[in-house]
Each structure stands twice: as structure tokens, then as C-alpha cells.
Homo-oligomer: A and B are copies of this chain.
Amino acid sequence: MTIKDVATIARVSTATVSYVINGTKPVLPEKRQRVIEAIKQTGYQPNQVAKSLRTKKTNNIGVLVEDILGFSTSHIINGISEHVEQSGYNILLNDLRMLGSLFNRYDQIVQQKDKISKALSLLVFGARVDAVIYVGMFDRDISGIITDLGKPIIIAYSTAKDSHTCSVTYENEQASADAVRYLFDAGHRRIAVITGLAHTSPAQLRMRGVLSAFKDAGLVLDGALVKNGDWERETGYSCMKDLLEHEKDNLPTAVFAMNDLMAIGAMDAIRDAGLRLPEDISVMGFDNREVSRFVWPRLTTVEIDLKGIGFAAAQLAVAQLEPGSKKAKGRNIVLPSRIIPGGTVAKV
């Protein structure tokens, strides 16, 4: 079934069939009817490959994810998929499968630059996609990793200062400040912090947020109450245990863990020490991972609008592909986060 067959059946030229299908030129109602009839009759579907070759537009958006198994990735894809579908694009998915090679040292992506470039240029120069959305596994600066390929590139859940890219991330600093303020509002003053890997961008941003909340409240963060974790549950546990031992004469009334996994580890440590949660020590997490709904009591945490990040990234991509659009490069959208109240924060 080709456009030629349809043209023959409808007794018109292929051009007319094309005009009808794409609405590119006016066609007499009578002929248009014959064409529509012929299409229905034959079940004709235009060959998108031929169309792409001719128009130099694939209607595909390449989605390059660092790892499909990252907890944030499917939510982001969900957002991308929703917008992309509305606008008539398809998703060409490419998984860099970084989780296995990097474990939780996602900051070492630089070493992966080659792999990324190769995947990217295959996608773009192979003319398979019109634009690319790069989906990171956490928010950090990946400037210099993504080369300019002459097509729109949007970075989701990470940022880059490169002028040829756009990015969509979330209010990290702001959200941490909000989390701490939430604890202040519940009456907590002596607050401990369990950080993520100290040299990583989210850990630093979140710490900035913590400090600014303290500053705004006219309080000071006790340095002895800051413990460095590595994002995993185990260090949440050990950091909390440390705190319980070294600060037993003056225990914090609340602890802010920079992610849910460490928060859950901290919860375990609190209970293992025979303390009540949240009455003796309150816990606040970050990420609103699925598990946070399953621990008991449900973890109070910060939700990142992952779907929104995906959706916005897709909007940015599609917008740049519209005929009359300016490039809009260098734009950096930052989405707000929100607190999900659970049962792990008590009023004092």
C-alpha cells in the first residue's frame, strides 16, 4: 500500500492524495471525498520513513537515559511520553545503563563521556531523531559532557552551562530549606543533618538550603550534628547511631536525611536504640520514593516533581522543533518541590 495505489483508486494524482492527507493545499470536496474513501478502503498508512527522508523530519525524539532502573527515570519518561504523544512525536529510547558501572558514584560520569557522545551522535547524525532529551539520574552539573550536534538538546534532572543545551531541574536548595523550616514549624530547634556524598552537587545544594533556613530563622546549625552519609540506607543507620552515641546527653529532636534511603536507615537506628519515632526523634527524608510510603510510620519527605520535569523537557524539545521557533537555547527551567507530610515528624 503506497500513496500511488491510493491515487490510482481515487483517480487523482499522488500530489492530491498528499494534499488531502496533510492539508497542505485546498482540494475540491468531491476529490477529497474520493481520496478519503480510498484511504479507508485500503487501510493505507503513509510510510513515515519515506516522509522523513523527504521532509528531513523524523518526528522522533531521542531519549537518552543514564539508567532506566534509576528510581526517577520512569517518572520522567512518563512525563515526556505524555507531552510527546500529544504533539505527535515518538520516543526513541536509549539506555546508557550506568547504574551497574557507577554504583552510586554518579559524579564520575565524565569517564562515560565517550559512551554518551557515541550514543548521541548515532541518534542525531544517523538522522533518527529531531531532538534529544538527556535524562540524568540526579541533579548535577554535566557541562562539557554533551557536545553540540546542531539539534535541540534538553537535559532533564541535571544541568549544564553549555550554551547549546537547555535544562529542566528542580528547586533543590529551596526544597531543603523548606524541609528544615517544616521542622522548625513543628517546634524543633536541635536538628541533625545526614548528608549525601559530601562532594556531590545535590548534597552541597541541600546543605546550602539547610544553612539558609537556619540563618533565616536566626539559629545556628550545630556542626557536631552534621554527619556525612553516602546516600545509601546503611550510612543513614551508622550516622544516626553515631549521633545517638556522641550526643546522648543532648540528643537532637529531629534529623533531616538528604534522601529517603538514609532517612529509613536513621529510622532503624532510632528504633534499635529503643527510642520512639517520632516522639523522641523526628525524621525527615527527601525524594518521596515509593518505599517512603511503606515504612511505618510513613516517612515525611520532599517530593520532586519528576513527571513535571519530563513534561517540561518535552515541551522545550517540541517547542524548538516548531517551524517558527527561536532556538531558546540556554534556558534553564527550575521546578518547585513540595513536602509530603507523613508520620515521622512530631510537634515538640
Interface residues of A (CB under 8 A from B): 1, 43, 45-50, 52-53, 58, 60, 63, 68-69, 73-75, 77-78, 81-82, 85, 90-95, 97, 121-122, 125-128, 233, 264, 268, 290-291, 294-296
Contact = CB atoms under 8 A, between A and B. Distances in A.
A290 B50 CA distance: 44
6 contacts: A1-B125, A50-B127, A91-B93, A92-B92, A290-B291, A291-B294
Nearest to A293: B291
A95 B68 contact: no
Contacts of A60: 92
A82 B58 CA distance: 24
Given A74-B69, A92-B90, A93-B93, A47 B127 contact: yes
Contacts of A122: 45
Nearest to A71: B290
Contact of A68 (B1, B81, B264, B296): B81
A49 B58 contact: yes
Contacts of A69: 74-75, 78
A53 B55 CA distance: 13
B291 A268 contact: no
A48 B296 contact: no
A78 B91 contact: no
Contacts of A63: 93
Contacts of A82: 97
Contact of A78 (B45, B95, B291): B95
Given A68-B78, A81-B68, A48 B92 contact: no
Contact of A45 (B53, B77, B90, B121): B121
Contacts of A48: 126-128
A157 to B, nearest CB: 15
A49 B128 contact: yes
Contacts of A91: 92-94
